[in-house]
């Protein structure tokens, strides 16, 4: 019997990527999508779609349960920070399975300052980070973090590098935070300042069951999607990424997840960046969902991570000899195009090299 899966925020980029991955792993999957925006859900790749009330409305939970019952859904798979929070809060009310970390773990991971402080206490590598409490204390924070200049200023919550920027002076930090206060109603206490990490940028994604890492894959961000329009110059989403496998990175990430929960379940992905000495530091952990660039983790290699997560959630037997897994691939992403995944030998297929013709 085909697995019946519900993907919220259907039609969005992350959800459509997840649906592609699930279909690539098992074309027989029956996938149902839902969204509260009729224009977004129109773009959904799900087999059947539903327009539902906004999640903050009281009617949302009732409508979602009705969709699940009507479609005989086996499992709901949230794939954004907001959806993880919503489905986690509703998990006891839903007439189907979920496969999510504990609520306390999700809450801790969604506060980047609290997470960083927790990981530091556990002896794990994180950037030296201070919480901003008010604009008057910015100079003191610079003195405490000096000579680590420039510093990294960012918002404690949210995704997509929201509110993140490198700053070299207290005046720059103060102006940036003040702008967010006045234009976006974001309090100064929502920000942190931390040491700037100039090195390589990694994403390590894993699927866990009862504290065991079942499968992990990782990639390095080589360039950033829409980074040119971002004041930070970076993005959490790679424009060009390369599949890698580095055991020391996997060990750091596995220790971090186990520190959060010795019986961790579900999907986790960990972002890391190297400091000036080349040591990879954890910058955030996303609990309960996959990375936006999920295609490289699902299409590349023998195991499809999204489908592996589904099989574990539904109680199916999964046997993978080696949790760490990776074959060299590249993924390229851009606006209004499907993510493209290439092996190294395929990068120049069908391309003639005309670079020297200008010198002839």
CATH code: domain 4-98 is 3.40.50.20
The answer on pLDDT for 327 being more than 70 is no
| pLDDT of 54 | 96
Do the beta carbons of residue 257 and residue 206 sit within 8 Å?
Answer: yes
What is the fold of 201-346?
A: D-amino Acid Aminotransferase; Chain A, domain 1 (3.30.470)
**pLDDT tens profile 117-145:** 999 999 999 999 999 999 999 999 999 89
Measured CA to CA, the distance from residue 336 to residue 155 in angstroms comes to 28
Measured CA to CA, the distance from residue 360 to residue 337 in angstroms comes to 35
**pLDDT tens profile 6-48:** 999 999 988 998 999 999 899 999 999 999 999 999 999 999 9
Question: Could you count the other beta carbons within 10 Å of the beta carbon of residue 147?
Answer: 6
| pLDDT of 340 | 78
The pLDDT confidence band at residue 229, using thresholds 50, 70 and 90, is: low
Q: Which residues of the chain does CATH 3.30.1490.20 include?
A: 128-195
Nearest of 151, 208, 5, 198 to residue 87 by alpha carbon: 5
Do the beta carbons of residue 325 and residue 232 sit within 8 Å?
Answer: no
| pLDDT of 2 | 87
Measured CA to CA, the distance from residue 119 to residue 282 in angstroms comes to 9
Q: Which is higher by pLDDT, 21 or 162?
A: 21
User: Mean pLDDT over residues 321-336, rounded?
Assistant: 73
Average pLDDT, the chain: 90
The pLDDT confidence band at residue 227, using thresholds 50, 70 and 90, is: low
The pLDDT confidence band at residue 300, using thresholds 50, 70 and 90, is: low
Phi/psi at 357 (5° precision):
-65, -30
Measured CA to CA, the distance from residue 274 to residue 104 in angstroms comes to 28
CATH code: domain 128-195 is 3.30.1490.20
Give Cα separations from 252 to 45, 255, 279 (angstroms).
Answer: 36, 5, 11
| pLDDT of 224 | 83
The pLDDT confidence band at residue 260, using thresholds 50, 70 and 90, is: very high
Q: Please, which residues have CB within 8 angstroms of residue 67's CB and are 6 or more apart in sequence? A: 6, 32, 34, 50, 52, 73
The answer on pLDDT for 115 being more than 70 is yes
Do the beta carbons of residue 221 and residue 209 sit within 8 Å?
Answer: no
Give me the DSSP letters along 221-250. Answer: EEEETTGGGSTTS--SSEEEEEEE--HHHH
The answer on pLDDT for 152 being more than 70 is yes
The pLDDT confidence band at residue 320, using thresholds 50, 70 and 90, is: confident
- Per cent of the chain over pLDDT 70 is 93
| pLDDT of 352 | 86
Phi/psi at 215 (5° precision):
-150, 140
User: Mean pLDDT over residues 287-304, rounded?
Assistant: 78
Q: Which residues of the chain does CATH 3.40.50.20 include?
A: 4-98
SS3 at position 341: strand
**pLDDT tens profile 78-88:** 999 999 999 99
Classify residue 39 by burial, with Cβ atoms within 10 Å: 0-12, 13-18, 19+. Answer: exposed
Q: Which is higher by pLDDT, 224 or 308?
A: 308
User: Mean pLDDT over residues 191-200, rounded?
Assistant: 94
User: Mean pLDDT over residues 222-247, rounded?
Assistant: 77
Q: Please, which residues have CB within 8 angstroms of residue 284's CB and are 6 or more apart in sequence? A: 109, 112, 115, 270, 271
| pLDDT of 228 | 58
Nearest of 355, 357, 356, 330 to residue 344 by alpha carbon: 330
Peptide bond into 320 cis (omega under 30): no
Q: Which residues of the chain does CATH 3.30.470.20 include?
A: 201-346
What letter would DSSP give residue 185?
-
Q: Which is higher by pLDDT, 266 or 301?
A: 266
The answer on pLDDT for 262 being more than 90 is yes
Give pairs for 165-171: CB < 8 Å, separation 24+. Answer: 165/231, 165/232, 166/196, 166/232, 166/233, 167/193, 169/142, 170/138, 170/139, 170/141, 170/142
Query: Is pTM beyond 0.75 here?
Result: yes
Angle between helices 103-110 and 81-90 (to 10 degrees): 160
Q: Give the strand pairing for 48-51 and 30-35.
A: parallel
| pLDDT of 295 | 63
| pLDDT of 140 | 93
| pLDDT of 57 | 94
| pLDDT of 192 | 95
The answer on pLDDT for 74 being more than 80 is yes
| pLDDT of 116 | 97
Give me the DSSP letters along 49-112. Answer: EEE---TTSTHHHHHHHHHHHHHT-SEE---SHHHHHHHHHHTTT-SSB-----HHHHHHHHSH
Measured CA to CA, the distance from residue 50 to residue 71 in angstroms comes to 11
| pLDDT of 226 | 66
Length of the chain: 360
SS3 at position 255: helix
């Amino acid at each position: 019997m085909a697995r019946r899966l519900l993907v919220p925020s259907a039609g969005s980029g992350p959800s459509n990527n997840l649906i592609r991955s699930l279909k690539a792993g098992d074309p027989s999957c029956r996938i149902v999508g839902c969204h509260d925006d009729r224009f977004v859900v129109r773009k959904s790749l799900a087999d059947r779609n539903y327009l539902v009330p906004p999640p903050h409305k009281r009617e949302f939970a009732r409508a979602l349960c009705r969709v699940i019952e009507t479609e005989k859904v086996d499992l709901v798979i949230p794939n954004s920070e907001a959806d993880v929070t919503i489905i986690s809060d509703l998990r006891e009310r839903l007439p189907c399975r979920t496969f999510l970390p504990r609520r306390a773990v999700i809450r801790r991971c969604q506060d980047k300052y609290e997470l960083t402080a927790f990981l530091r206490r556990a002896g794990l590598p994180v950037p030296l980070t201070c919480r901003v409490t008010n604009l008057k204390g910015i100079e003191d924070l610079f003195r405490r973090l000096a000579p680590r200049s420039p510093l990294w200023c960012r918002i404690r919550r949210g995704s997509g590098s929201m509110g993140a920027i490198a700053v070299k002076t207290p005046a720059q930090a103060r102006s940036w935070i003040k702008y967010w206060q006045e234009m976006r109603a974001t309090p100064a206490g929502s920000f942190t300042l931390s040491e700037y990490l100039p090195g390589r940028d990694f994403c390590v994604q894993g699927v866990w069951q009862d504290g065991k890492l079942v499968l992990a894959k990782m990639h390095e961000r080589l360039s950033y999607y829409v980074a040119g329009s971002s004041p930070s110059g970076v993005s959490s989403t790679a424009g060009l990424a390369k599949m890698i496998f580095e055991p020391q990175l996997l060990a750091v990430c596995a220790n971090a997840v186990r520190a959060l929960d010795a019986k961790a379940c579900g999907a986790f992905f960990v972002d890391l960046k190297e400091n000036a000495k080349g040591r990879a530091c954890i910058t955030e952990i996303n609990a309960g969902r996959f990375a936006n660039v999920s295609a490289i983790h699902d299409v590349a290699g023998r195991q499809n991570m999204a489908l592996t997560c589904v099989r574990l959630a539904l109680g199916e037997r999964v046997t993978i000899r080696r949790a760490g897994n990776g074959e060299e691939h590249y993924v390229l992403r851009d606006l209004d195009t499907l993510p493209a995944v290439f092996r190294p030998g395929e990068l120049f297929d069908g391309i003639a090299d005309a670079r020297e013709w200008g010198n002839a």
